[in-house]
């Protein structure tokens, strides 16, 4: 039996003069609704979070929405609007307890965005992130290995065969 195929993405086009590293401002954890997959929901439930872990006892960790035949999920929020997994220091409890890889994909992606364009994938940053606006951190080009791994998770197969979008 052959080993499982490793997902790959088309070549990335990275911004040349952009820097970014998380500065732990927690703004992303306060301003976004984080939709998660059913698999991420199950993984979080299996982590057996309790108030002893610091999560609020009076708030749902996961909120279901949409009609029952098309159920979707998102992370819950504390009374102040912050993610239920954000601790008092502004850090992610999932990351602290289980590592970055255990976080939901939207949390691991932010502030990066991937844009299939012909035979490449352009990478950009969302400027709702203060560190991206201030150009803080490591050069994005130095993060190519991590970005290729993330792109492999989010860029659908076959996009390298699509023509680049027309700009009018």
pTM: 0.84
How do the domains of the chain map onto residue ranges? Answer: 1-20+111-162, 33-99
**CB-based contacts of 152, cutoff 8 Å, min separation 6:** 6, 7, 8, 9
DSSP string of 81-135, one letter each residue? SSBTTB-TTS-BHHHHHH-GGGS-HHHHHTTEEEEEETTEEEEEE-TTSHHHHHT
Report residue 119's pLDDT band, with 50, 70 and 90 as the boundaries: confident
pLDDT tens, 45-101?
999 999 999 999 999 999 999 999 999 999 999 999 999 999 999 999 999 999 999
pLDDT tens, 10-30?
799 999 899 999 999 999 999
């Amino acid at each position: 039996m052959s080993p499982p195929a490793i997902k790959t993405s088309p070549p990335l086009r990275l911004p040349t003069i952009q820097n970014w590293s998380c500065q732990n401002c927690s703004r992303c954890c306060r301003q976004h609704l984080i939709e998660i997959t059913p698999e991420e929901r199950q993984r979080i439930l299996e982590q057996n979070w309790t108030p002893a872990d610091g999560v609020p006892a009076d708030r749902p960790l996961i909120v279901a929405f949409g009609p029952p035949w098309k159920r979707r999920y998102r992370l819950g929020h504390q009374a102040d609007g912050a993610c239920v997994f954000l601790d008092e220091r502004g850090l992610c409890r999932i990351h602290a307890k289980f590592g970055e890889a255990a976080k939901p994909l939207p949390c691991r992606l932010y502030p990066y965005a991937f844009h299939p364009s012909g035979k490449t994938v352009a990478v950009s940053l969302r400027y709702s992130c203060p560190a991206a606006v201030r150009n803080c951190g490591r050069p994005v080009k130095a993060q190519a290995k991590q970005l290729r791994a993330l792109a492999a998770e989010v860029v659908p197969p076959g996009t390298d065969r699509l023509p680049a979008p027309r700009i009018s």
